[in-house]
């Protein structure tokens, strides 16, 4: 049984953790980072070893944050922070010191070579690219480095010199690292991260990304300006967080074939998107038969699968697999998969829970998006058909005579600025509803009617067909379909003379 002392100890540990860490990334916050580095340099650094202070500045983050929104930006920062932390040892000190800036003390290194290697590795690992509406946003890292004891033995000296080295990188193309040396000029600028500001924290309230992954995923999807970019980011975040080598989404088309619409691969993992461009239903069926009642296929070791399905893994490095079925009206509409290529893996309950819920959110979002995309296509096709009809077609509010829609023929004949105007103003050039308006033929019992109409101010005859249609619950709307019969009427008049 847990005693009051144990509870109090746990609560104190929780409060200490909250006081020391950056809420969003889980790294040390600015004040804690400075204190820990200062204390280490003063009391604990080893003789004849280098201590390397890295200031890491993310290039291009502001543009991504502004374009995609701060929730998307938060997710990107959390992913970058995870990548930075993973690149260093547990004994190293890693903190976030600003919106898109990080500080690391790389401890007790022999020689300069390992420090150069680590900096180059970071520059490479922190490359990111996000595309939306044919606009590509690139992320990179600029890193300034100062060494102890060569450049100083206290935090202030090292930070100032690493900052000067960082400025040199930023002024020379970014996306690189540089070591401080005495020949570098002190920049004539006010640093955004002056040492005096180390006690100030980001005032915008943020939730810990690692503890609220599902909430972030949901909000990113439904608030993002670009759905495809959001889905790709989420796959990357989940893949990196749970050490997954490949995440993929297969969606079913009308021919019951499955095709790869999204894929994220860890570094050095080969893409299989082209290979999965068209997966026949007979092959997909062999996998789908192994899904349980919850729509999951949990494979901890692909080498133990029966031969009928094992053969599909002979030429791929997949060692463990977790797949989720995308369901639409009780039918499987796609598959979301998570692969481990390193070794067989027992998927933990919390991993299965988060990955399944992530897949469920992605599934719901994508199925809604596909339905909306199909509706847009259908609407576009319908509009194209209407635009190719050699007649005037209008949709008009029967209560106030407002024009809600008109096709290309009507635009070309009556003018481009009709939308939202009054039908009698644009069509018949009247100042009030026409006494010969075909809408007058419609009643509670008569929903469609036809008649020939003459517009005297245009010297135009039309055969008008009018019918009530459903638009929305707040409007009484009709469809007006008019064929120009002026030539027929004039020819008939000549023949009667």
Q: Is residue 236 part of a domain?
A: no
Domain boundary among 322, 347, 377: 377
**Long-range CB contact pairs, 287-291, < 8 A, 24+:** 287/323, 287/335, 288/325, 288/332, 288/335, 291/323, 291/325, 291/332
Domain annotation covers residue 10: no
Same domain, yes or no: 353 and 402: no
Kindly state whether residue 335 falls inside one of the protein's structural domains: yes
Distance CA 157, CA 163 (A): 10
If asked whether residues 296 and 354 sit together in one domain, one would say yes
Q: Looking at residue 493, what is its pLDDT?
A: 76
CA distance 22 to 173: 30
In a domain, 76, yes or no: yes
- Do 286 and 330 sit in the same domain of this protein? yes
Last residue of a domain, one of 320, 355, 377: 377
212 in a structural domain: no
Asked if residue 262 and residue 335 are part of one domain, the reply reads yes
Say yes or no: 433 and 372 in one domain. Answer: no
**pLDDT on residue 255:** 85
Residues 346 and 295 in one domain: yes
* Residue 462 sits in the same domain as residue 433: yes
Residue 321 inside a domain? The answer is: yes
Q: How many domains does the chain have?
A: 3
pLDDT truncated to tens, each residue of the chain (497 aa)? 555 555 555 555 445 455 678 888 889 999 899 999 999 998 877 778 899 999 999 999 999 988 888 888 888 998 999 999 999 999 999 999 988 999 999 999 999 999 999 999 999 999 998 888 888 999 999 999 999 999 999 999 999 999 999 999 998 999 999 999 988 776 654 444 544 455 444 444 555 666 667 777 777 777 777 888 889 888 998 998 899 999 999 999 888 889 999 999 998 899 999 988 888 888 888 888 889 888 899 999 999 988 888 888 888 999 999 999 998 878 889 999 999 999 999 999 888 988 988 888 888 888 888 887 777 787 788 888 888 888 999 999 999 999 999 999 999 888 877 888 999 998 889 899 999 999 999 998 999 999 999 999 999 999 999 999 888 777 899 999 999 999 988 887 776 66
- State residue 315's pLDDT score: 86
pLDDT (0 to 100) of residue 299: 93
The CATH number of residue 354's host domain is 3.30.450.40
Does the residue 218 lie in any domain? no
Does residue 222 belong to any structural domain of this protein?
no
Question: What CATH number is given to the structural domain containing 459?
Answer: 3.30.450.20
Same domain, 337 and 427: no
Shared domain for 192 and 57, answered yes or no, is: yes
Q: Among the three residues 377, 403, 423, which one is the final residue of a domain in this structure?
A: 377
| CATH, residue 47 | 3.30.70.270
Q: Say what the pLDDT of residue 209 is.
A: 61
Instruction: Identify whether residues 321 and 401 lie together within a single domain.
Output: no
Containing structural domain, residue 86: 19-199
Q: Are residues 276 and 366 in the same domain?
A: yes
Cβ within 8 Å of residue 227, ≥6 positions away:
221, 365, 369
Residues 41 and 168 in one domain: yes
Strand partners, 132: 135
């Amino acid at each position: 049984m847990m005693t009051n002392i144990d509870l109090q100890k746990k609560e104190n540990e929780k409060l200490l953790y909250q006081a020391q860490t950056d809420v969003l990334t889980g790294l040390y916050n600015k004040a804690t980072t400075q204190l820990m580095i200062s204390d280490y340099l003063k009391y604990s650094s080893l003789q004849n070893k280098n201590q390397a202070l890295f200031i890491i500045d993310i290039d291009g983050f502001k543009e991504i944050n502004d374009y995609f929104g701060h929730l998307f930006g938060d997710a990107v920062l959390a992913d970058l922070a995870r990548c930075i932390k993973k690149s260093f040892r547990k004994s190293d000190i890693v903190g976030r010191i600003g919106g898109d800036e990080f500080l690391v003390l790389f401890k007790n290194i022999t020689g300069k070579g390992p420090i150069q290697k680590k900096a180059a590795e970071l520059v490479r690992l922190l490359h990111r690219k996000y595309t939306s509406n044919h606009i590509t946003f690139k992320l990179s890292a600029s890193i300034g480095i100062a060494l102890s004891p060569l450049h100083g033995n206290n935090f202030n000296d090292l930070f100032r010199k690493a900052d000067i080295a960082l400025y040199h990188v930023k002024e020379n193309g970014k996306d690189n690292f540089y070591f401080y040396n005495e020949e570098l000029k002190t920049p004539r600028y006010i640093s955004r991260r002056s040492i005096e500001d180390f006690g100030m924290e980001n005032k915008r309230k943020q939730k810990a990304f690692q503890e609220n992954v599902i909430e972030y995923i949901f909000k990113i999807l439904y608030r993002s300006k670009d759905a495809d970019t959001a889905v790709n980011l989420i796959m990357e975040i989940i893949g990196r967080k749970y050490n997954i080598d490949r995440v993929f989404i297969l969606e079913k088309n009308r021919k019951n074939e499955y095709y790869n619409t999204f894929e994220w691969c860890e570094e050095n993992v080969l893409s299989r998107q082209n290979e999965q461009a068209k997966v026949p239903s007979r092959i997909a069926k062999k996998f789908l038969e192994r899904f349980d009642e919850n729509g999951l296929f949990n494979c901890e070791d692909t080498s133990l699968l029966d031969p009928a399905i094992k053969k599909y893994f002979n030429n791929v490095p997949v060692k463990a697999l977790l797949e989720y079925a995308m369901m639409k009206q009780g039918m499987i509409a796609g598959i979301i998969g998570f692969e481990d290529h390193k070794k067989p893996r027992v998927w933990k309950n919390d991993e299965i829970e988060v990955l399944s819920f992530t897949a469920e959110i992605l599934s719901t979002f994508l199925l809604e998006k596909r339905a909306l995309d199909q509706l847009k296509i259908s609407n576009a096709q319908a509009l194209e058909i209407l635009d190719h009809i050699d007649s005037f077609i209008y949709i008009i509010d029967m209560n106030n005579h407002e024009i809600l829609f008109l096709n290309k023929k009507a635009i070309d004949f009556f003018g481009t600025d009709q939308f939202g105007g009054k039908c009698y103003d644009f069509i018949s050039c009247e100042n009030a509803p026409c006494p010969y308006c075909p809408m007058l033929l419609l009643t509670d019992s008569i929903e469609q009617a036809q008649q020939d109409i003459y517009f005297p101010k245009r010297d135009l005859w039309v055969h008008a067909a009018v019918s009530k249609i459903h638009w929305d619950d707040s409007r009484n709307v009709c469809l007006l379909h008019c064929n120009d019969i002026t030539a027929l009427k004039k020819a008939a008049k000549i023949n009667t003379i």
